[in-house]
Structure 1
Amino acid sequence: MSATLLVSPASARVMPDLYDVREAVASRGNTDRADATARGLERVFVRVTGDQNIANNPKVAPVLAQSQKFVQSYRYDSDDNQLYLQLAFDPQAVNDLVHKLQLPLWPNNRPGTLVWMAVDTLQSGRDTLRQEDYPELFGLLDGLAMERGLPLDFPVMDLNDQRNMPLGSLWAQDEGAAERAGVRYRPDATLMGRLLQTSGQRWQANWLLIHGGRSYAFDASGTTMEEVALRGVNEAANLLAERYAVHSSDTGVASAVMVEISGIRSFAHYSQATKYLQGLAQVSSAEVLAVDGDRLMLALNSSTELKTLQNVLALNRNLQLARDDGLVDLSGYRAPLGSAQNPLRYSWQ
């Protein structure tokens, strides 16, 4: 079997376990369970809001004290003589609470992010970071991705990857190389990091997040390679959450956005498109207004900003942005984007 067959493409995906946590406890007593449940709900709030500092919000502390009200089920298990409490919080109850407290809500359809990393150590010099060489580091990154609710993928670094993303290009954070090397993975976002050991106890990292036609550069420093790597993924999660989180106070009033989708050539296409749009957290309703040949016209009721809605729709690979040909009359007037005269136009692939 060739190595390429083992590659699982990154893509926007629904995160299924945002509301489930596992907490270490000293006993099965009520006090230990209550404390663990509060810690668990705090972790869920971080995942659901996208805000890693959400516990510092004064609105949240009183809720954590009542965390057991939001538990759907729990059970105990043990591992290496350590007792754990498995908690499943009620997703609808948590989401309703987030809305009530006017906190941001990061819907569970999130951008798959491909992470490339290179390291430069005082002892060994410069090299590409591979999972097989640094299993503990990549294990920590997987754990952090779970805590933030961010789907991460790592390149397999076979000959194909080494040819498309040579070490020099990775260290230079070459966006062209990232695009070429990412073809086989089809990520929604790409995160490139170069981790530099500056002294025996200091590390510096430079990060570049590429997503949605934009690039975001940021730095991290710390005492270990693991620390600066984790900080890089944390900041990437912060930036993506900021882009996609729904804020209750964005507008507060739902409005209709017209969307036209071409390429609907079968009932299966129709069902897939409408089911997807009706299931978006940013959309309160998706009403089919007309079907004309292979074209579908819908009205999406949403209280989020138009740009946020466009960002979310871009996460679906089946929806490809169509040519912008909104009509402009002789006076130069252009119908507002999202209106009946100038709908958001997509083609179904």
Structure 2
Amino acid sequence: MKHLLIHTMFRNCLILLFFILPLNVSAIEVENLYSAKVAVDSQSVGDRNQALKNALRAILVKVGGKKIEHPGITQAIKNYNKYVTQYQYIRQDNRTLLNVSFDEAKINRLFKENDLAIWGRLRPQVMVWLIEEEGFERKIISATSSSLLPNTIHDFSQLRGLPLVMPIMDLTDLTALTVSDLWGRFSQPVAQASARYMAEAVVVIRVSNSSLLTVDDAAIECPLCQQHKLAVDWSLMTDAQSEHAQVFSEQYLGDDVNELLVNALSDITDIIYQQYALSTTNSNEFEIDVANISSLAELIAVSEFLSELSAVQSVQLVSVKGTNRRFKLSLIGSQQALFASLKLSAQLNRYIDPLAEREGSDQVPVFYWGKK
């Protein structure tokens, strides 16, 4: 059994800090959010049914953003056939997989009926710098490295629906960043090297079988370090385009590098998820102004755009003044979740009035429609 030294209080502090720090706009619309590929032992009815259940479990984690323990979810897994739309057997990497698609509307309804949070299709892209230390040698793992770790990161990205990108380590990357910069987690060179990848957040993950396991007072400070072969830790920078404060994890100790890496990525995903997940229990109404709508076609386009946001349950036009249109939005979740979703879109750009803070907090936020 592997030991994981991450404390609940520490994670909550990270989540709070993540809320406070600003985010840049860079998002990916996740494809195949309601489909999953799972291993299947054979094409027998029993093995197929078990694979269908496993696929549904994977989808519920991907849509919900985390593993959910809830009676409604347990019942849904028992009634898995209710949600399946199609499946097919495929061969991949010398394995037989079942590729399963599920009914999006029914899955979303399941979450809403059980007051469970939903993570929408539009998700932040995360830059992953992975550096591995073996003895006295340190190397940066690229997307095309012969190491198996990029496959672990890719599989995790597909499983959790979080867009993860790794460096290509071409001449540009090699010029911008040294191994020492990355191992030392120096924010300036890491931010500068990450800028070309246009990610929303940057994470540096260190994997070590040597120096991270060496502690001067091991018996006092790290009694478990001497029992394991590997240590993993990470730092998170919430703005890939500039230098902002990083948050740092404690160590993950164990013997299986893939398991440690998945544990680290899971905790990082949980932090990011807290920013964007939409609680269905906190429905409220909220008004916004869109200031440059000059035609019926644009009005329809804006209304449809707002209606499709995961944070929005319904949209109502409440007033018209010149080219300004005021909309009342019935939200699923908080205003913070709405603004987080809008930050990931280039179509509605918010106008920040520098006098708004002086005038009070009751100002209706103003957005401009990004005309194509």
Shorter-chain TM-score tier: 0.7 to 0.9
CA contact (8 A) 1:204 1:222 kept: yes
Percent of paired sites with the same residue: 23
* Shift in alpha-carbon separation, 1:133–1:14, aligned structure 2, 3 A: closer
In structure 2, what is the equivalent of residue 148 of structure 1? 160
Q: Does 1:345 align with 2:366?
A: yes
Q: State how 1:106-117 maps to structure 2 within 5 Å.
A: 106-117=119-130
In structure 2, what is the equivalent of residue 91 of structure 1? 104
* Shift in alpha-carbon separation, 1:25–1:179, aligned structure 2, 3 A: closer
Counterpart amino acid of residue 360 in structure 2: R
Identify which of structures 1 and 2 has the higher relative contact order when contacts are C-alpha pairs closer than 8 Å and 6+ apart: 2
* Shift in alpha-carbon separation, 1:127–1:327, aligned structure 2, 3 A: closer
Task: Show CA shifts across 1:287-306 (max 9, x none).
Answer: 44556666554332213111
1:160 Cα deviation (Å)?
Answer: 1.8
* Shift in alpha-carbon separation, 1:308–1:78, aligned structure 2, 3 A: closer
Counterpart amino acid of residue 344 in structure 1: P
Q: Does 1:235 align with 2:248?
A: no
1:158 Cα deviation (Å)?
Answer: 1.8
SS in 2 for 1:284: strand
Q: Does 1:180 align with 2:192?
A: yes
CA distance in 2, matches of 1:148, 1:293: 44
CA contact (8 A) 1:169 1:177 kept: yes
Task: Show CA shifts across 1:36-73 (max 9, x none).
Answer: 1111111111101111x32x444422221111111111
CA contact (8 A) 2:279 2:334 kept: no
Q: Does 1:197 align with 2:209?
A: yes
Q: State how 1:45-84 maps to structure 2 within 5 Å.
A: 45-51=60-66, 53-54=67-68, 56-78=69-91, 82-84=95-97
CA contact (8 A) 2:284 2:334 kept: no
Q: State how 1:172-321 maps to structure 2 within 5 Å.
A: 172-198=184-210, 201-211=228-238, 215-219=246-250, 220-249=252-281, 251=282, 253-255=283-285, 257-262=286-291, 273-289=302-318, 296-321=325-350
1:34 Cα deviation (Å)?
Answer: 1.8
Q: TM-score with structure 1 length normalisation? A: 0.81
CA contact (8 A) 2:348 2:369 kept: yes
Q: Unpaired segments of 5 or more residues in structure 2?
A: 1-24, 214-225
CA contact (8 A) 1:188 1:315 kept: no
Of Structure 1 and Structure 2, the greater helix share is in 2
* Shift in alpha-carbon separation, 1:77–1:121, aligned structure 2, 3 A: closer
In structure 1, what is the equivalent of residue 179 of structure 2? 167
1:142 Cα deviation (Å)?
Answer: 0.2
CA contact (8 A) 2:236 2:248 kept: yes
CA contact (8 A) 2:125 2:165 kept: yes
CA distance in 2, matches of 1:161, 1:265: 45
In structure 2, what is the equivalent of residue 20 of structure 1? 35
CA distance in 1, matches of 2:206, 2:51: 37
1:211 Cα deviation (Å)?
Answer: 2.5
1:195 Cα deviation (Å)?
Answer: 2.0
* Count of matched residue positions in the alignment of Structure 1 and Structure 2: 326
Task: Show CA shifts across 1:269-316 (max 9, x none).
Answer: 766654432210111223445566665543322131111211111111
CA contact (8 A) 1:326 1:335 kept: no
SS in 1 for 2:199: coil
1:162 Cα deviation (Å)?
Answer: 2.5
Q: Point out the more displaced range, 235-244 or 58-67.
A: 58-67
SS in 1 for 2:153: helix
SS in 1 for 2:116: coil
